Amino acid sequence: MQETGIDWAGDDTLEVQKKIRGYSGSQSVYYHRNTDLSAPISSGSFITEGMLVVPCTMKTLSGIANGYGNNLIERAADVTIKEGRHLLLSPREMPFSAIHLEHMLKLARLGVTIAPPVPGFYHAPKDLNDIVDFIAGKILDAFRIEHDLFKRWGS
């Protein structure tokens, strides 16, 4: 509720999944509670292109970096790394401490993409939506997902 403005309290898993699919317009979007360690995504036999953790708290980043797997996000990220799939983390806290940077470096050395939500200004954003679109577009670029969220350099 604090970050999305949507109150999910009391909704069961199927109700939440239906709402998310309604917002996204996609039937290939799935929802599982973070406590559901038996969800299909927690197994390497569940095929994905990769995983995005946006935003990624430093607690979650630490759990992933240290293979803790205490919840579904950490477990699915661990599986993503284990299976050699693309993982992107977008850390939201700043400034970074040396501990944060060491965890990010450890993950980057494993092939994880670390993509802090840093805006670019070369596309001359007119408002906050343009900045958000730029960051979202750069994250989509990392997965080679086509979009037209911002004007590219030189275009």
Of 71, 26, 27, the residue nearest 53 (C-alpha): 71
Residues 36-48 have pLDDT tens digits of 999 999 999 999 9
CA distances from 113 to 54, 107, 130 (A): 12, 8, 23
| Residue 4, pLDDT score | 67
Rg (CA), the chain: 17
CATH number 3.40.50.620 given to 32-116: no
Let me know: does 26 contact 62? Beta carbons within 8 Å: no
Which residues touch 139 (CB under 8 Å, ≥6 apart)? 52, 54, 88, 90, 115
- CA atoms of 58 and 64, how far apart (whole Å): 10
- Tell whether the model's pLDDT for residue 35 goes beyond 80: yes
Residues 85-107 have pLDDT tens digits of 999 999 999 999 999 999 999 99
SS (H, E, C) 84-138: CCEEEEEECCCCCCHHHHHHHHHHHHCCCEECCCCCCCCCCCCCHHHHHHHHHHH
Q: Residue 128 is encoded by which pair of tokens?
A: 């906050």
CA distances from 126 to 13, 14, 22, 129, 130 (A): 38, 39, 29, 8, 6
Residues 102-151 have pLDDT tens digits of 999 999 999 999 999 999 888 889 999 999 999 999 999 999 999 999 88
Of 72, 76, 70, 101, the residue nearest 88 (C-alpha): 76
Kindly state the percentage of the chain with pLDDT values over 70: 89
Q: Residue 18 is encoded by which pair of tokens?
A: 């239906």
Interval 64-71 mean pLDDT: 96
Q: List the chain domain ranges.
A: 32-116, 118-155
